[in-house]
Structure formats: structure tokens, C-alpha cells
A and B are shown apart, each in its own frame.
Chain A
């Protein structure tokens, strides 16, 4: 299984006829994502087949509004590629049309607009991912975003990250070791985002097919500390973490609008300390993410099946996971005994 997106995802692309929208729709179709509709105001009625440079594998119907697209195609998930000035409106339109999962790729959305969109989405009950994120992928099932599909492998490790390419780095290290991923989610680098670490961790905790989670944070804010508190209290699966930006100077915005140490708060050290205290295995170098996850899983699969680590994946994963679910309380000991 996976979280948030899967085989039954019916995807709508907002801004499908734009350059970015076209390019990535082509890629998503090729990955096997069920793209059911596109929205570009004024281009409703078009059956879009991409451009000469980026031809689609099949045509996608385009609508003027999200509501019309949902009525006609039963789209349940949306991905947004519209320019920054219109992104918040696109999020609100999707939420009002009843879209359950809204993924906003757009970078550079003004914070004020996001505050309004966040507030609206929270009240309508939709789930927003992003903005300024690579999106979400459940390998082998569905890709909603701009990540390179081929580096992923179907499996049982969840990945959550504030950064795009650093997520690819972690995924690459996992896949190289034969460790697949259940779902990888880029939550975005902005100060106001829809889904946070804590939300994603909760989903992975409840997903029977996820047996471990990699969490990649960065300086700024306190989302990692909040996540650490959750892990300490509730997490039943091993978490490996990294915080980017130990060498970042205070007061400087490190690329991401949200990556800034201000008033002495939001330093990497604080975050790493909080995570370690919560039982998260924090690596000093991002080069060690895959290796460390392999070790964490190795310990577990050895005790449950007697087999070595890197093979991990489905069988051993499912076993330990299904056992883990009914017993909500104790984590390792319950599993170790059998």
C-alpha cells in the first residue's frame, strides 16, 4: 500500500497547457499515473495531446473550471502548475470543487496568499501538499509531481522531506541498496505549507505497508521538533533523519523561503537534538541515509525472519507490519519475540 496517492488516484492537472504543466503531465502519463483531466481557464473542450516537443501518450480532456472537471471525470486529486500569483486561487478552487488531495508544485507563492489558502483548505477538509515541493509518488502506482520516476522502486520505506533534490538523493541511496519505497512525499520549503512532517508521519505510522521512515528536515521553523514529539509518543516504526543546514549562517534565507534561522531559533543542532531524544536515528551526513535505513531495517528483519537486511521488502515487511498493527502499544519487543 501507500499513503495519499495510489492506483485509484484520478489526477487532474491545473495549468495543464502551460510549459511546466505539459512537460510534467507527459512524464506522469508515462509513469502510469491516471491523469483524467486538465484545467486551463478558456481552453475548456480541448482534448489536449501535449506539444510537438512533449507529446502525450494519450489525449487528456481540458476543462474551464475544476468543478466542471470533477463533475465530468470524478477526479479526486489535483496537481497545480499555475504561476505563483495564481497558485493560491488554484488551491482554493480545487478545495471548493471537492478535491481530496491537492498538490501544489508552484514555487514563489506569496505568504499572504498561502495563509488564506491554508485557512480555506483547513476548513474544507481537503489535504494540501506544498507549495514549492516536488510532489508525491507511490512507486509503481502513481506519480503526482516533478520527481524523476525512474530512481524510485516499489517497496516499504516512507520518505518525507522539505527539499526536492535531497529527497531524490535519499531515494537514490535506498533504491541502490534494493530498498523500495511505499510513498515519497516532498512537503515543501515554504513557511506556510499544507501537510507537515507530523501529518505525514502519522499517515506512514498507520500504513501497514510502511516499515520505516526517512525524514529530511532543514533549518528554520519548528516543524521537526513537533514531529519529534509525535515520534516519541506514537511512532511504531524506525525513523532515520537528517537536517540540512548545520553550516548555514543565521538570518540568511537559504534558498527556500522557510529555511532561515531567525532570533536564534530553528538551528540544525536544536532540531537534531530533539529528534535524537525522540529515538530518531539522526545521521550527520546525507550520504548515510540509505545505509542507516538499511541497518535499521536489517535489525528488524533479522529478528523477525532470520534473513539479511538489504533484501527487506515485501514479504518480511508485510509480516512485521500486519503483526504490528493490532498491537498499538509496544514497538520493537512485540515483534522481536516472534
Chain B
């Protein structure tokens, strides 16, 4: 799960992570009021969307008067913000964060995430703050310092010091930096984060160390024990079809192609998308109906796939293990009648009771293209979209 910058900062503040003062705003008037409340003479107006690179896309502006706050807020609110993380379609900005301006001496980077190769959490720090960290990692990996966290010992003070020294922090900034790292790690651990990233982390001219930006992602598998996160979900940031699918307990991701697919199992679903591509089509979605493919899930799946107007054919690929293919076939027939599918549907059912399933599909009188194997399914998809 992802949250907005202002939400991440609200959480981090509770763990003692140092931050600039700020307030979120839904409207231009709210934004001006927020600036007045914060006081001072410089403010930053920041678009709140679930993507990085907002500054480059024109979503972050420094205002030196309340009039400028008003001007920038009205420019940014409602704009279609395109960044390297949003894709070409961008995102409409509906929320702002207004923050007090600060005098920056240095911009650094800190990130915490799981290192899968060692199965340990990793705290990363770099002097190359404010840049795309992926670029730094690719071009100058030596500029990313890493400390791996032992599960039993936890993130040790010496590790925080090593990173702070590595960043070249001295005096007050060193002390503040060590404290910052420890607080951030505490938040990461306590909140079941999959990512906590501060880019940039700024050192101010008076030696404060503050999170200028903040990104937190949470482990979806741990959301049950953090009920406080549920209200932070912003449905505007999600595809409406994906929201619909999640209500039906389907794992659906919308893509841009023309062949819809419905599969059991995530790996086979990805494999099926790959096959569609090899067959000359483009997958319109990822859809894993999971272990319980029945009439209801198939119907819900059909509705969601067909709501995407780009879809010209559907491929259903179920490998029945514990799931029985005859039941899936019955579900497919029922659902196709109910939903009135008017485009070609290629059905490939393998495994338990696959033959019986073929008979059910054939006897339905509906125009299913029944495939015997994965390869056959791919060929039939090619025909269907030709």
C-alpha cells in the first residue's frame, strides 16, 4: 500500500523523525490559510500524488508571498502531473501539501528496504540527494552506502554512526543525522513498511537534519495489524476497475492491450500475458482469480475485463489442480450468458476433469474457442484478434 507524502510525514512525526512544518490542502483557499497558519515568508507548494519526480513535472513550487501561494496552488490543483513514475497519462492533482520554506545547505538520500538477496533489511544512504536514486545506483553504485540489519541485533547505533560519517556529517548535523536514521528505522519496523525513503534529506544552514520529502510503502500482508492505515487509502490514485476488482477479491491490474485474460495463479497469469504477446496480441490486464475459480469469480472477472473497451478477445486459462475444471466450465458458461459476451472467448482448461469441462463448453451452444494446450490457446488468440 502506498500513501501520500503528507500522510507519510504525519506517521513519521509520531516516531520523532524531524520534518519541516506543513499542512495539507484540498483547495486554493485552504492552501493560503495553511501558509498563513505556518507563518514565515517562504512556503513550498507541493502536489500530492503517489509518484516521485513531482518537482521536475512542475508539481512543486517555492512561493515567496501569500499571493504566490495562491497562484501556484491554483496552477497545481487539478493539473495533470506527468513524471517518470506516472507513465504518459500522468495523474490529476487533487491534494496539496504546504510547507514552510527552509534554508538548505546539503541534500542527501536515505532509504530503507528489504534486501532480498540477504533476506535482511538494508539502510541506504547517499550524498547524491534529490536525484533519481535508481540512476545513482546504476551509474555510481559506490556512492550508495549500505548497512544490513541483523534480525536479532536490530539496527545498531554504530551502523547509524557509520552512515552519518559516510555522509560527511559533522557537529550538530552528525548528532541529528544519527537520531534521524534511528527514528526512521524505528518507524519502518513498527509500521511494517516495505519502503521508507527520504529524498532529499536536507541539512539546513543551522545544522538541522529534516525530511524534505518522504515516501512510505507498507507491506500489504501486514495491513490487518495497522487498522490506522486503512483510512489513508486514496481511491483517486487507483484505477477504478482495479478498485472494483479488489471488492470482488480478484487480483486485477489494468494494462493497455487488447486481449483480456483470466487465469488461476499469479505465475500462470503472467505466463499467459507473455503468451498473448508472443501470439501478436497485447495483454489488456493481469487477472488472477486465485484458488477458488467458480461462477461468481468468473462472472466478476468477465464484467471487469469487458468494462475495458480496448478488449477484443478474452483468454481464460485455468489449470485445475484442486479446482475442478468442470465446475469452472459451468461457471464460464453461466457467466458468459449473464454478462452477454460479444467478443471471442478462448477457453483453455487443463488438469482435473478437463475432458468433462470440454463437453460442457461444447454443449453450451455458445461460441467458445476451446483450446487443448497452452500453445493451442495462443494460436486461437492470434486468430481471434486477426
Question: Which residues on A are within 8 Å of B, measured CB to CB?
Answer: 23, 27, 84-85, 108-112, 115-116, 118-119, 134, 146-148, 150-151, 161-169, 172, 189, 191-192, 216, 218-219, 221-223, 226, 242, 244-249, 251-259, 263-264, 268, 284-288
Contact = CB atoms under 8 A, between A and B. Distances in A.
B343 to A, nearest CB: 20
Contacts of A285: 274-275, 278, 374-375, 378
A247 B253 CA distance: 12
B350 interface: yes
B281 to A, nearest CB: 10
Interface string B318-342: 0111100000000000000000000
A192 B114 contact: yes
A166 B255 contact: no
A304 B114 CA distance: 47
6 contacts: A148-B321, A168-B351, A169-B268, A169-B350, A254-B266, A287-B374
Contact of A169 (B117, B119, B273, B374): B374
Q: Which of the listed residues A84, A192, A219, A285 has the most CB atoms from chain B within 10 Å of its own CB?
A: A285
Interface residues of B, number: 56
Given A165-B268, A263-B137, 13 more contacts: A111-B192, A163-B265, A164-B268, A221-B117, A222-B116, A244-B271, A245-B270, A252-B286, A255-B251, A255-B265, A285-B274, A286-B268, A287-B373
B27 interface: no
A222 B319 contact: no
A263 B276 CA distance: 26
- Pairs A-B, 6 closest by C-beta atoms: A163-B267, A255-B266, A165-B265, A148-B321, A119-B151, A166-B267
Given A192-B119, A222-B117, A254-B286, A246 B194 contact: no
B351 A249 contact: no
A108 B373 contact: no
Contacts of B228: none
Given A111-B194, A255-B251, A244 B114 contact: no
A259 B121 contact: no
Contacts of A226: 117
Contacts of A252: 253, 286
Interface of B: 85, 114, 116-117, 119-121, 133-134, 137-138, 150-152, 189, 192, 194, 219-222, 224-225, 251, 253, 255, 263-271, 273-278, 282-283, 286, 288, 319-322, 350-352, 373-375, 378
Nearest to A253: B220
Contacts of B85: 251
Contacts, number: 175
Interface centre among A108, A226, A263 (most CB of B within 10 A): A263
B151 to A, nearest CB: 4
Contacts of A151: 321, 351
A257 B269 CA distance: 14
B192 A247 contact: no
B277 A246 contact: yes
A223 B251 CA distance: 24
A280 B134 CA distance: 29
Nearest to B149: A115
A333 B120 CA distance: 41
B192 A110 contact: yes
Nearest to B287: A255
A162 B267 contact: yes
Given A163-B268, A251-B85, A287-B374, A146 B138 contact: no
Nearest to B2: A251
A102 to B, nearest CB: 16
A90 B375 CA distance: 41
A286 B267 CA distance: 10
A284 B288 contact: no
A145 to B, nearest CB: 10
Contacts of A146: 321-322
B350 A172 contact: yes
Nearest to B264: A165
Given A119-B152, A256-B266, A286 B221 contact: no
**Interface core residue of B117, B263, B271 (most chain A CB under 10 Å):** B271
